Amino acid sequence: MRSTGFAVARTQRPPCYPARLVATHSSWAEPDLAYDASVPEFTAEVVLRNADTLATGGKWADAPDASPSRLRKRKTFASGCEACLDESGVPYDAARERYLFPGGRTGVRGRGLLGRYGPNHAADPLVTRHSPATGELEVVVVMRRDSDSVALPGGMVEPGDTVAGTLYGEFTEEAARPNGAAERLFRDARYNRGVVYRGPVDDPRTTDEAWIETTAVHFHATADIAAELVLEVSDQQEIRKVMWKPVAEIGVMYASHKDWLDAVAEKMSTEPTEGGDARASKARATHGGRQGAKGAAAAAADTASTGTPEEAGDEEVSGSPHAELPVDTTRHEADAGEEESGGSVLPADTATTTVVTSTATLKAAPGRARPLSKIFSLLRRRRTGSGPR
């Protein structure tokens, strides 16, 4: 996977953030006294109101004075494998007693919109199929309300949740109806193509002291599963619409999502489609644009029978309009002593073949994995409750 150099984290920001200070030296290994003296500090009010030490609020954020002893045992994948922060080699500011973004200086100190100091863990499912009309490789993408950008469905791992539960939960909240096909797609090892990436994400919400680390997992829906998946927007506060979109048509995506999709497309290009050979699959997955007017017409005919596309080739479902994205939607991993996101991430019977990753292969810790049937049951009950997303 190509390296982005975390350009997004240094040059982009949510509207509520102050302007990022451009550092003379982006690496923490090189002193930058002018930066240290002038870098702005920002933590959103919504983060402060939801501190886990308050009697009110959602308790999904650290208190401003979170102790170093609490932070150092948090899990990170920044070093290429799972490790506690104090054993990972992640830079540490002894004066402020805070761990620093492994990608270097970002131009903003504090936590911004992120709840936790250090890594805030997330999970992103890449769900693909081969178009029933054209055979092209397609992926489920959403349009985000906060940036109106094309993105993969996904979200933050809640305290006590596993990555496996979050992958399914976010997909069925943001992109698809929670039916039998969705459960089979995420439960059956036949459809799990493995971890695409695990580690820090180049995200505009990143600050010097808080960042997102995700686990991106590829699930490929066969024709029978894909036919039964019902795309719909349940989380209409965050997501504007959802669609099957040809991979070859996707350009810019949110954060690092395009890197992961490119890795999946490259791997899938060497595999035969259902009812096709490897060469045909490679031609359909190549990032060279549409296959001409005939391919566009076929894709349009396909989507006309299955959805209301914004453009030919996009099978989409839209949500109701909202003025803006609420910002109190951050999730985070549990601290040491709780059930952590870095432990039982996938059930033991789930495939863990790595496509591309800068970290260790995702595996379940013995005795820690929850059966997905239990996870699905918990998710169904949780959907009727309340709390920040």
Host H or E run for residue 217: strand 210-220
Residues in contact with 280: Cβ distance below 8 Å, sequence separation at least 6, in sequence order: 135, 272, 273
Please give the Cα distance from 389 to 381 (Å, whole number): 15
**pLDDT for res 203:** 94
Q: Identity (one letter) of the amino acid at 294?
A: K
Chain region(s) in the chain for CATH 3.90.79.10? 120-382
**pLDDT for res 215:** 97
Total residue count of the chain as it appears in this document: 389
Fold designation for 120-382: Nucleoside Triphosphate Pyrophosphohydrolase (3.90.79)
Q: Identity (one letter) of the amino acid at 24?
A: T
**pLDDT for res 353:** 34
Tens place of pLDDT per residue across the chain (389 aa): 433 589 999 999 999 999 999 999 999 999 999 999 999 999 999 999 999 999 999 999 999 999 999 999 999 999 889 999 999 999 999 999 999 999 999 999 999 999 999 999 999 999 999 999 999 999 999 998 877 789 999 999 988 899 999 999 999 999 999 999 999 999 999 999 999 999 999 999 999 999 999 999 999 999 999 999 999 988 788 889 999 999 999 999 998 999 999 999 999 998 877 654 444 444 445 444 444 443 444 433 333 333 333 333 455 544 432 222 222 233 444 453 333 333 333 333 333 333 333 333 333 333 333 444 444 444 444 443 333 34
**pLDDT for res 284:** 47
Dihedral Cα 198, 203, 207, 209, nearest 10 deg: -10
**pLDDT for res 271:** 83
- Write the CA distances from 336 to 190, 321, 323, integer angstroms: 33, 40, 38
Characterise 386 by phi-psi region: left (phi > 0), alpha (psi -120 to 50), beta (else). Answer: beta
**pLDDT for res 121:** 97
Report which DSSP code applies to 230.
-
Question: Rounded to 5 degrees, what are φ and ψ at 108?
Answer: -140, 135
The overall longest dimension of the chain from CA atoms, in Å, is 63
**pLDDT for res 315:** 54
**pLDDT for res 314:** 54
